[in-house]
Structure 1
Amino acid sequence: MLEAIVLVLGGIGAGALSTMAGMGGGVLLVVTMSLALGPHAALATTAPALLAGNLHRTWLYRHAVDRGVALTFLIGALPGALVGGLVSARMPDTAIEVLLVIVTAFALARAAGKLEWKPSARAYLPFAFGAGMVAAGSGAGILVSPILVAGGLAGEALIATSSVVAATMHVGRIAGYGVAGLFGGAALVVSLLLGGGILAGNVLGGRVRARIGEAWCMRLTHLVLVVSLIAAVIGIAR
């Protein structure tokens, strides 16, 4: 029972964070689950939960989705995530943990304004394919944000469109994990508990976001990403 409560609370935190700041929730969830279960199990257990959370977030902010950008991006992201899911299932644990550190550090640098790289809109398809592969190996679609920001998206439009793209990536990586045999009954139970928490977190995050504003949301994201980076480094050092 205690483990179930912890999983639901973790899902609430991840959903709230992603809804408030548009990033960070997936990183936090995968890194913490990796410490508890190992990297391969973490990828498998979080994938269905994150898919449900992104679909729910897409529905909540459906009015703000940039359909043109989302369609262009998902054409590249879906096959990239499928290929990445197959590859990551065969990667050593250490390789996945190193990738988690790199992706988390990238997310922190982006959130803190230390990394201003913005790929051009012409790079949508090849970049989306690469982002899908990285997302499948790290469980986090954090590389989506730079190119969506480069396309002029911000606020609710960024949250809504990134949710559509992330959901597409999760479909691809779930298919890849399934073919590679990463899923089992226990993984699905854990994912169900996480998913329920993420849905509640999405609603909570939307309400908190409206009250505290963008600046405080980003401060919270910085804090969570710092903690996630430390946890990811600990995962390598174990």
Structure 2
Amino acid sequence: MMVNSKSTNPLIEYLEQNPNGRVVHRWRHYFDIYHRHFSRFRGESITMIEIGIFNGGSLRMWKDYFGPKATIVGVDINPGCKKYEETGIEIVIGDQADPKFLQELSNRYPNFSVVIDDGGHRMEQQITTLEELYLPMQNDGVYLCEDTHTSYMPSFGGGHQKKNTFIEYSKKLIDQLNAFHIEESEYLAQNYFTQATDSIHFYDSVVVIEKKSRTKPDQVIYGTQADFSYLVPSLSGKNT
């Protein structure tokens, strides 16, 4: 679907047109991030999983945004959220910190293309959810974890540069994304994440990972005229 950069964000349009709807509570800049990474799925037959339902308002927002072909799956540990189920919106009750539950979730919805983690925001919850849902997500999928500023908040298990926060975990994924180029390291080698990830995007309080199968990058050269050449190892690592 084509995106008109001059138009109002359709997520904001929906919310403004439904002022008496269920509460949607987000940081303002999140909506542009959503639209930037999710717009290509609009009108498609996709399954989206949102962890963290709260008052259920975002589920209807996503249903409107992605369209009638989409299946919206809301996940929450609160059994009371089951009441938000309706046509096009399915509710699953479970604990996102439980790997077994997440495995059962991915088996139940094997073709999901979008994940939003807006759950408990604790470190073990965010890390476990990514580790369990990223691999089974569709090859062209988008994984978005929000409210990652909790990595800096002791009340959520975070702290600046504290080990095992989601942000520190995500920083290591940058190395993994570039692991095709590692020549000598006993600590880093290409793995599934290297071979399955197209890009990682860091925003204030949001990390987005776009999935796409890839092989080791290769260089191309266009043109025949070259006045200069490398006098040091080239970008390929070879002496020239």
TM-score range (shorter-chain normalised) is under 0.3
Answer 1 or 2: which has greater strand percent: 2
| Largest Rg, 1 or 2 | 2
Normalising by structure 1, we get a TM-score of: 0.26
Output the TM-score relative to the length of structure 2. 0.26
Relative contact order, higher structure (CA 8 A, sep 6+): 1
Higher share of residues assigned helix: 1
